[in-house]
Amino acid sequence: MFTIEPVQPADKFEILVAKTGHQMIATRVAGPMQARDFERLDDSSVQDMLTLVEASRPGPFSVRTNKLGDYLGIRVGGHLIAMAGERMKLEGFTEISAVCTHPDHRGHGYAHDLVSAVAQAVLDRGESPFLHVFSDNLPAIALMSVSDSRSAERCT
């Protein structure tokens, strides 16, 4: 649950994560840092996607999450080392999801270039890309900031 104000859970519920986050909506996308070969990830890539999620912890991602939208990835030496894709869709909006890079491969601009490609595809469809990000995820906030986005809401 995302809320503007903190809430007390009902008796049978437990708070698993309580962090401040932002919903960022892009109106323009920064171009890629360099030309890259992206792989369109499909059902045959699910195990690789789950392995990457386990190593990088981008947030909720499960066996069928890839069915919610298009996902792109980057492989090095046959290993999936970075990915990003689409998840929640509302009329005129698509959420960018599962933006992650394996810890051993960070600092090369992979997430920037993947988000650029995914967000541009969303914009090309006439929709607005948005991203949910925890307030302490400064790299993701910086990435969306160079993409001419605005923080639509602060939530807990």
Q: Show the low-confidence residues of the chain (pLDDT under 70).
A: 1-2, 144-156
Count of other CB atoms within 10 angstroms of residue 126:
7
Cα angle: 74, vertex 125, 127; to 5 degrees: 100
Q: Please give the pLDDT value at position 155.
A: 44
Q: Please give the pLDDT value at position 124.
A: 95
Q: Please give the pLDDT value at position 156.
A: 42
Count of other CB atoms within 10 angstroms of residue 80:
22
Q: Please give the pLDDT value at position 47.
A: 98
Q: Please give the pLDDT value at position 37.
A: 93
- For the entire predicted model, the pTM comes to 0.83
Q: Please give the pLDDT value at position 85.
A: 96
